[in-house]
Structures are given as structure tokens and as C-alpha cells.
Amino acid sequence: PTSPSWTRTRSEGKPDVLWKEQAANSEAGVSSRQFAAVAPDGSWMGSVAGIVEEAGARDHFGLLIEERQAQLVGVYVRPEHRGGGRVLGPLVAAVREWAAAVGAGRLRLFVHAENGRAAAAYEKLGFVATGHRVPFS
């Protein structure tokens, strides 16, 4: 699964060839890419992934994707490294650079409506809230 919104039910019945193709494309950095931030002492500070969404497809919320774009997913920064953008900023920058390199016209993300701290952090990194709300269960 490429997103937390993928469920076992949605994943069951998908042909093996789909998963193999997805894994190969991910390994090559074509359809998705994961980035990690590691401290000088080798400890893990956080990670993030980007996935490509193709024009004409529907995303996991059923919304039509109008242009080739990338979505920022799987964002996690360890609590002791949060704040100030010192870890999140470089992680998001890495996804932005990768997204541009694979021809994505924009980078988007979804933030839970009750997560004001995350929304503020993303706004500091240049993201703009659209006001569009999608159900999340």
C-alpha cells in the first residue's frame, strides 16, 4: 500500500503484477520515493515519502487528478526533532526536488483538520491551504 488510507479490503484482490510493478517503480524512484533524515550519530530523526499521481486517475479519496502531481505522505519526525523546520524542511525539500525531477506539476498533501501545528508547519514551508475537505476515517 502506498498510503495510510489503503486498507486491507482495498488491497486484497489486486493482481501480483500490480504490486511487483509498484515495487520496481518505487525502487527506481519513478512512482514513489522515501527519504530519511539521519543525525550525525546515526540515529533516525524522521522520514517522508512522495508518490506520483497521474492525470486522469482518481486518488484514494475518489477525487479526479487533473495533472501529473506528487503527494507528500508518511511524514513523521521524532518528537525531539520537531519544531523550527530543521528536519521537516529538508525532508520536504527532498520530496519537492524528486517530484520536479519526475515531472510532477505540483506537490500536495492532506493535513487532518484538527492538526493545526502540522498545518502551520507546512504553511511555513510554502504550502497553501485550499480549504478543500475530504472525509477521513
Give one DSSP letter per residue of 11-58, joined into a string.
HTT--HHHHHHHHHHHHHTSSEEEEEEE-TTS-EEEEEEEEEE-TT-B
* Domain enclosing residue 119, as ranges: 8-124
Domain with residue 33: its CATH number is 3.40.630.30
Parallel, antiparallel or unpaired: strands 107-108 and 69-77: parallel
What pLDDT shows up at residue 19? 59
Is 73 among the domain residues? Answer: yes
How many independent structural domains does the chain possess?
Answer: 1
What pLDDT shows up at residue 99? 97
What pLDDT shows up at residue 2? 41
What pLDDT shows up at residue 54? 95
Is 40 among the domain residues? Answer: yes
> Mean pLDDT by 10-residue block, N- to C-terminus, for the chain (137 residues)?
45 64 66 94 95 92 92 94 93 97 95 91 94 76
Is 16 among the domain residues? Answer: yes
62 vs 51: CA distance, rounded Å? 16
Is 31 among the domain residues? Answer: yes
75, 91 contact by CB (below 8 A): yes
What pLDDT shows up at residue 55? 96
